[in-house]
Amino acid sequence: MCIRDRYQRRVHGESIRMKVLVLVQFTKDVKSRTYFLFEDLTKAYEFVVKSFVNKSWRESAGEKTTWIMEREIFEYVDNLEELGFLINEEKDASSKFEFYDKEWIKKSMAFHVRQLLSKE
């Protein structure tokens, strides 16, 4: 069973412990490289969306944007200098982190983005 399937099961009530380390470099400047630790994929996806919204807000001189397209979020992901998820499903003490790249992130977060955008 892949991580995306387990994420779907978790959304529907099953408990799966995991850690998601989001590795991101926002610009070409290596000083913009940082990481964030989340307890599940939902929070990691929300971080990516909130980063996009914050960037859009700054670029629009603080004007409130009312309409966000899924395509714009994925373009933002593509334009980040670096983005990757290290995911550890805490099955046992020997569990290791697995790396997932931008393409996997976009595919796996599509469902979540649609749900998030439908709430607005």
Q: What is the pLDDT of residues 1-59, one digit of tens each?
A: 455 555 444 545 555 678 999 999 999 999 999 999 999 999 999 999 999 988 887 77
Q: How many CB atoms lie within 10 A of CB 113?
A: 20
112: confidence class by pLDDT, cuts 50, 70, 90: confident
Percent of the chain predicted with pLDDT > 70: 76
Using an 8 Å Cβ cutoff, are 41 and 7 in contact?
A: yes
Percent of the chain at pLDDT above 90?
47
pLDDT of residue 5: 53
Helix ranges, 24-92 (H): 41-59, 70-79
Predicted pLDDT of residue 8 = 45
Q: Indicate whether 91 pLDDT > 80.
A: no
Residues 108, 41 contacting (CB under 8 angstroms): yes
Task: Give the chain's radius of gyration (CA, Å).
Answer: 15
